[in-house]
A = this chain, B = another copy of it.
Amino acid sequence: MVERVALAGADDPVLRDYVRLRDVQARRSLEVEHGFFIAEGEKVVRRALESGHRPRSFLMAPRWLESLADVLDDHDVPCYVLSEAAIERVTGFHVHRGALASLERPAPRAVDDVLATARRIVVIEDVVDHTNVGAIFRSVAALGFDAIMLSPRCADPLYRRSIKVAMGSVFWLPYARLDKWYEAPDLLARHGFQRVALALDDAATDLARLQVGDKVALLVGSEGHGLSPRWRTTADDVVMIPMAADIDSLNVAASVAVACWALREG
Check A243 for interface membership: any CB of B closer than 8 A.
yes
Q: By the criterion of a CB under 8 Å from any partner CB, how many residues of chain A are at the interface? A: 27
Docked complex Cα distance between A113 and B192 (Å): 54
Query: Are A251's CB and B135's CB within 8 A?
Result: yes
Q: How far is the CA of A109 from the CA of B127 in the complex (A)?
A: 37
Which residues 198-232 of A have a CB within 8 angstroms of B? none
Binds B, one of A65-73, A75-83, A140-148: A140-148
By a CB distance below 8 angstroms, the chain B residues around A247 are 138, 141-142, 167, 169
Given the complex, which residues of B lie within 8 Å of A167, measured CB to CB? Answer: 247-248
Q: What are 28 A-B interface contacts by the 8 Å CB criterion?
A: A135-B251, A135-B254, A138-B247, A138-B251, A139-B250, A139-B254, A141-B244, A142-B243, A142-B247, A142-B249, A142-B254, A143-B241, A143-B244, A143-B250, A143-B258, A144-B243, A144-B244, A165-B251, A169-B247, A172-B246, A241-B261, A250-B257, A253-B254, A254-B254, A254-B257, A257-B257, A258-B258, A258-B261
Across-interface contacts of A165 in B (CB, < 8 A): 251
Identity of the chain B residue whose Cβ is nearest the Cβ of A144 in the assembled complex? B244
CA distance A251 to B254 in the complex (A): 10
Please provide the chain A residues from 154 to 209 with a CB less than 8 Å away from any CB of chain B in the complex: 165, 167, 169, 172
What is the copy number of this chain in the assembly? 2
Is the C-beta of A7 less than 8 angstroms from some C-beta in chain B? Answer: no
| A134: nearest chain-B partner, CB-CB | B251
A14: chain B residues at CB < 8 Å are none
The reply to whether A142 and B257 contact each other, CB–CB distance below 8 Å, is: no
CA distance A253 to B241 in the complex (A): 16
Nearest Cβ on chain B to A79's Cβ, whole angstroms? 26
CA distance A57 to B103 in the complex (A): 48
Please name all residues of chain B whose beta carbon is closer than 8 Å to the beta carbon of A257 when the two chains form the complex.
250, 254-255, 257-258
> What's the nearest-Cβ distance from chain B to residue A239, in Å?
13
Nearest CB in chain B: distance from A192 CB, A: 22
A169 vs B262: C-alpha distance when bound (angstroms): 24
Q: How far is the CA of A167 from the CA of B246 in the complex (A)?
A: 11
Are the CB atoms of B254 and A138 closer together than 8 Å?
yes
Chain B: CB-nearest residue to A142 = B247
Expressed in whole angstroms, the minimum distance between the Cβ of A3 and any Cβ of chain B is: 31
Of the candidates B142, B172, B251, the one whose C-beta lies within 8 Å of that of A250 is B142
B169-A138 in contact (CB<8A): no
Chain B CB count within 10 A is highest, among A139, A165, A169, A261, for A261
